[in-house]
Structure 1
Amino acid sequence: MATRRNSSTETAIKNMLIPLVQAIGRSGKLLYLIVFVVLGVIAYKYFTSEKTTATTEYNTELIQQQIKNVGKLVVTEGHFSQVMTYKDQQKYMMDLISFEKKALIIINADVTVAYDLRQIQYDIDEKNKTITIVGIPKEEIKISPDIQFYDVEQSTMNPFTGDDYNKINKKVKADLAKKIEKSSLKSNAKNRLVSELAKVLILTNSMGWMLQYNGVVVKSDKELELKIVP
């Protein structure tokens, strides 16, 4: 039934078009018809082009907004404790007399590893639908130690001075820096960084755009971790 109906419809259309074409030919208006068709094609391409441009601009705005949302201070916190003994000895009269000072020191330190993604640098290539991460700020490590002295022993000939406290503070921070390197604090901070940047990767992929770093296209979170994380 459907085939017969379609056949009858085609026949009816042909019967309508043939007299129309003959009429146009007889009246000399065929040229106007051709001009009308050409103008229609041009108008179609024009409006299609405008739509593509509008879509590209919309996608660009979405990406910029996502980067703005990611652009924040990513902070990972940790706590470290240690106990140390500080000793210093002053000797006089060819080392026959000595004066010693010492103290038991307990250190509790709060440590933060931060990435300030507000400083991230990027370029957007609308023509090639590519966003390039130019630079990621280096991690910032802040150590805030609380130093408490116990069992302090000193003499008038060898008292604790500002130099002693500076030496102790310097050694405490050096020891803590070594502990931080051996801990998972920095790796946890990098994981959080990758998690934030992955939001940009997901958005660009969903819109058919590419994310790259230093000319290398990044396609997954793993590549993000290996190529982008400093």
Structure 2
Amino acid sequence: MATRRNQSTETQIKNVLVPIIQAIGRSGKLIYILIFGVLFYLAYQFFTSDRSSSTLEYNSSLIEKQLKNVSKLVVTEGHYSQVMTYKDQKNYFMNLVSFDKKALMVVNADVTISYDLSKVTYDIDEKNKSITIKNIPEAEMKINPDIHFYSIDESMFNPFGTSDYNKIRTKVKAELVKKMEKSSLKKNAENRLISELSKILILTNTMGWTLKYNGEVIITETALSTKIKT
């Protein structure tokens, strides 16, 4: 009888303890699941949102740094030598009498064409990962002529004066501008400008950003060159 009573007691204890142990086991698994879920969420936030934000800021900083590096004065220099003639005539008595004057001169001139890239204006769109160049400054040309007069023929009634020398200097500059337009100096200056701006294009392409100018997306250096020269 004692043995049966003990077995009955053990059975009752097992009937009570087993559900409790099983419940604890299930609760333990639930806790582990909850902990794992929280850790997964935190890891996701760290490797997506935070990382994306920091990467975006890093990319923007790189682009702004490159823009500052490009923002400099690009100067192309050339030298010209030319022999020029200046003539002037004054008429009197209904053009019956005229007095001429003439000057033969040798002109040496240093010409510079420059682009001040610090004046380039642009917008950076971090959200859409794009840079829009809004304005590129026009070329600035400087001509410093050195005029040597080889011979001067003048008349007492038509002598050389200050106004003549001013006219000569103006004419010399105008002739040099025409000569410069036909020379390779202007093209060389534009090529240097494109070369500097291409550094921005290379960086944006490498980082997966987009470069825009005059409302169009610029993908290649050729496209950039075409847009600048038009």
TM over 0.5: yes
Amino acid at match of 2:130: T
Could you tell me how far apart the structure 2 residues matched to 1:89 and 1:228 are?
Answer: 45
Counterpart CA distance in 1 for 2:181 and 2:207 is: 39
Tell which deviates more after alignment, 38-47 or 106-115. 38-47
Residue deviations 1:100-152, cap 9 Å, x none?
A: 22111211111111111011111111112111111111111111111121211
Q: Distance in 2 between matches of 1:201 and 1:227?
A: 13
Aligned counterpart, 2:65: 65
1:104–1:151 contact (8 Å) kept in structure 2:
yes
Which ranges of structure 2 fall in alignment gaps of 5 or more residues? 1-20
Give me the whole-angstrom Cα distance separating, in 1, the residues matched to 2:40 and 2:62: 32
Instruction: Provide the residue aligned with 2:39 in structure 1.
Output: 40
When normalised by structure 1's length, the TM-score is 0.83
Figure out how many residues of one structure are paired with residues of the other and give that number: 209
Task: Find the aligned partners of 2:89 and 2:25 in 1 and give their Cα distance.
Answer: 121
Amino acid at match of 1:28: S
Q: Which has the larger radius of gyration?
A: 2
SS at match of 1:28: helix
Partner residue of 1:108?
A: 108
The CA distance in 1 between the partners of 2:92 and 2:58, in whole Å, is 80
Task: Please name the residue that 1:189 is paired with.
Answer: 189
CA deviations 1:211-230 (Å, max 9, x no partner) are 12133211111111012346
> Which one-letter code corresponds to 2:31 in the other structure?
Y
Q: Which residue of 2 aligns with 1:28?
A: 27
Corresponding letter in the other structure for 1:182: K
CA distance in 2, matches of 1:169, 1:64: 44
Quick one: distance in 2 between partners of 1:132 and 1:186?
Answer: 25
Q: Does the C-alpha gap of structure 1 residues 97 and 196 become closer, same or farther in structure 2, counting only changes over 3 Å?
A: same
Shift of 1:34: 3.3
Contact 1:102 1:153 in 2 (8 A): yes
TM-score computed with the length of structure 2 as normaliser: 0.83
Q: What is the CA distance between 1:23 and its match in structure 2?
A: 5.9
Shift of 1:47: 0.8
The change in CA–CA distance for 1:34 and 1:152 in structure 2 (over 3 A counts) is same
Verify the 8 A CA contact 1:130 1:211 in the aligned structure 2: yes
Matched, 1:155 2:155: yes
Paired position in structure 2 for 1:18: none
Q: In 2, are the aligned partners of 1:24 and 1:30 still within 8 Å (CA)?
A: no
Rounded Cα–Cα distance in structure 2 between residues aligned with 1:88 and 1:148: 18
In structure 1, stretches of 5+ residues that fail to align are 1-21
Match for residue 122 of structure 2? 122
1:31-76 deviation per Cα after TM superposition (whole angstroms, max 9, x unaligned): 4233223312320222121111111111111111111111100011
Which amino acid in the other structure matches residue 172 of structure 1?
V
- Whole-angstrom distance in 1 between the partners of 2:205 and 2:192: 20
Structure-2 residue corresponding to 1:87? 87
Structure 1 equivalent of residue 134 of structure 2: 134
Alignment partners' CA distance in 2, 1:146 and 1:187: 24
RMSD: 2.0
Counterparts of 1:200 and 1:229, CA distance in 2: 18
CA distance in 2, matches of 1:169, 1:131: 44
Q: Does 1:53 align with 2:53?
A: yes
Identity, in percent, stands at 56
Aligned pair in 2 of structure 1 residues 185, 23: CA closer, same or farther (>3 Å)? Answer: farther
In 1, Cα distance between equivalents of 2:203 and 2:95: 73
Do structure 1's residue 178 and structure 2's residue 182 form an aligned pair?
A: no
